[in-house]
Amino acid sequence: MTTDTLATDCSRCAALCCLALAFDKGDDFAFDKNPGEPCRNLSGHQCSIHDKLTSEGFPGCVAYDCLGAGNRVVQEVFAGQSWQKNPQLTRPMMEAFSGMREVHKRIDLLRAARSLPLSDRDDQARRDYLARLEQHRWSGPELNDFEVGLALEIDLWFHTLRGYLPG
Ligand code: SF4
């Protein structure tokens, strides 16, 4: 079975968003949470208020989508392990999740660029980048380096596409 790289599957994640991400009390979240602080609504890897997030004051959680970064990190980089069973993994899993979110954001943008009237050369470059990001089996150190390496290269390439956009 092949699944889309950008498909989020919380059942194969370890609640990384509910651990790693910070939010502020307001319209989208009912209390403040710091990065790396497990949400107090977590029960194992599940949200204990999943079915009533909006009415409980957490529409921000409903709106959030990691684009499959969490499940990919847990399965591909950490072989299904969890920071809950092995607290030493907390920091490396948060760092890898951050890097993979950047990888998956670029995959999303590279797919969207398919709708531009790209030259054959630019479309080949687009497909080459996509293949690298989707097919590579990432390690934690590679994900940590992604933003200062390949992500910058891809972002600079995106700038060269500005001529395709309506002026
Ligand atoms: S409220 Fe639920 S979905 Fe939102 S961060 Fe907490 S545990 Fe996760």
The string of pLDDT tens digits covering residues 39-94 is 999 999 999 999 999 999 999 999 999 999 999 999 999 999 999 999 999 999 99
Nearest CA to ligand 1 atom 8: 18
Residue 1, pLDDT score: 53
AA identity, residue 106: R
Atom of ligand 1 nearest to the CA of 42: 7
Query: Ligand 1 pocket test: which of 47, 56, 84 has the largest number of ligand atoms within 8 Å of its C-beta?
Result: 47
In sign, the C-alpha dihedral spanning 38, 44, 50, 55 is negative
Residue 3, pLDDT score: 81
Alpha carbon distance 99, 69 (integer Å): 9
Residue 160, pLDDT score: 95
Nearest CA to ligand 1 atom 1: 41
pTM reported for the whole predicted model: 0.95
Q: What is the chain's mean pLDDT, rounded?
A: 96
How many Å lie between the centroid of ligand 1 and the Cα of residue 46? Answer: 8
